[in-house]
Amino acid sequence: MLDVIGHVHGKSVLDAGCAGGEYAALLLARGAHVAALDASKAMVEIITQRFGDAVIARQHDLAEPISWLGDASMDIVVSSLTLHYLRDWSVPLSEFRRVLKSDGRLVMSTHHPAMVQQLLVSGQSYFDTVLVEDRWRVGGVEHEVRYYHRPLQDILNSIIAAGFTIRRIIEPHLTQPLRGVPAEWFQKLSTLPWFLIVEACVTKAADHPL
């Protein structure tokens, strides 16, 4: 994600789905002006405690318009592993397009549909947008997590329909063992598509298919 985001010094960046602020910290360190939002009040409080006035932090549900940001006010929108918690992408993607400048970029990541399809149950189709249930073990505690599976064509076409031109698609995977990553997980993360990164730029009016 950071390689795709690239140079941010002096640029205005929206961290959409900021969680505890790992991307916000890295963006600040690279000289960006950061606005961050998250649906969780607790996460926004963490951001405020960590960064104070250095980051504009708001509790915000991406299913609603980002009315507190003006048109063409951002150079880059970063959204890491966030949109798959929403069934409908039309509002967040159209709002990302609205707040971006004419030369702005969207860099987003989501679970790869090839991975999520393993969670589909009988009667559910790869070609549908459906809520799935997953279980994550963190610190020895198992957590039940729900998010949406959607087919690859819907992911990409939703971005295009919102007024973006897709620059590149990346299926990140490990190419060498990492300290602390068990052999079983290295095998999975080096041979299967678990995540999807999309970089898109604002479509010029003359080039928009609509």
List pLDDT tens digits, range 117-171: 999 999 999 999 999 999 988 788 888 999 999 999 999 999 999 999 999 999 9
Domain ranges within the chain, ordered by starting residue? 2-111+151-176+194-205
Q: For residue 207, is pLDDT > 80?
A: no
pLDDT at 189: 86
What confidence score (pLDDT) does residue 139 get?
A: 80
pLDDT at position 205: 67
Looking at the predicted structure, is the pLDDT value of residue 51 above 80? yes
Cβ 132 vs Cβ 120: under 8 Å? yes
| Distance between CA atoms of residues 77 and 99, nearest Å | 9
Residue 206 confidence (pLDDT) above 60? no
The pTM (predicted TM-score) of the whole model is 0.92
Question: CA 143, CA 141: separation in Å to the nearest integer?
Answer: 6
83-87, 114-118, 173-177 — most confident range: 83-87
* Amino acid letter, residue 170: I
Residue 141, SS3? strand
Q: Which residues fall within 8 angstroms of residue 161, CB to CB, at 6 or more apart?
A: 93
- How confident is the model over 93-119, as a mean pLDDT? 96
Query: In this predicted structure, what is the pLDDT of residue 179?
Result: 85
The alpha-carbon radius of gyration of the chain (Å, integer) is 17
pLDDT of residue 50: 97
Range 189-208 average pLDDT: 86
Please give the CATH topology (third level) of the domain spanning 2-111+151-176+194-205.
Rossmann fold (3.40.50)
More confident residue, 95 or 182: 95
What is the reported pLDDT for 197?
Answer: 98
pLDDT band per the 50, 70, 90 thresholds, residue 32: very high
Residue with tokens 């609509």: 210
